[in-house]
Amino acid sequence: MIVYRLITEDDTSQFCHRVTEALSKGWSLHGSPSYAFDGANGVMRCAQAVTKESDQEYSPDMKLGQA
């Protein structure tokens, strides 16, 4: 099964650290990152999809970050 996650964060180094951590744990980038202005909070937001092959069976209760 392929597991999918969308990592989101304000446009800070923390976003890059979260994506880097996912990559170091075997996740792969899926597509390009996205950026959007969050007008309510006055900040840029980032998003990056990542995928990973897992031999677990899918369950709606599974914690995707630990797959």
Query: Is residue 18 within a helix (H) or strand (E), and if so which, with residue range?
Result: helix 13-24
In this model, does residue 19 exceed pLDDT 80? yes
Question: What is the tens place of the pLDDT at every residue in 25-61?
Answer: 999 999 999 999 999 999 999 999 999 998 888 888 8
32 in a domain, yes or no? Answer: yes
- Residue 65 confidence (pLDDT): 74
pTM for the model:
0.85
66 in a domain, yes or no? Answer: no
62 in a domain, yes or no? Answer: no
d(CA 57, CA 39): 39
β-pair partners for 29: 50
41 in a domain, yes or no? Answer: yes
Among 6-15, 47-56, 57-66, which stretch is predicted with the lowest mean pLDDT? 57-66
User: What is the number of domains present in the chain?
Assistant: 1
60 in a domain, yes or no? Answer: no
- Residue 13 confidence (pLDDT): 95
Range of the domain at 25: 2-55
8 in a domain, yes or no? Answer: yes
14 in a domain, yes or no? Answer: yes
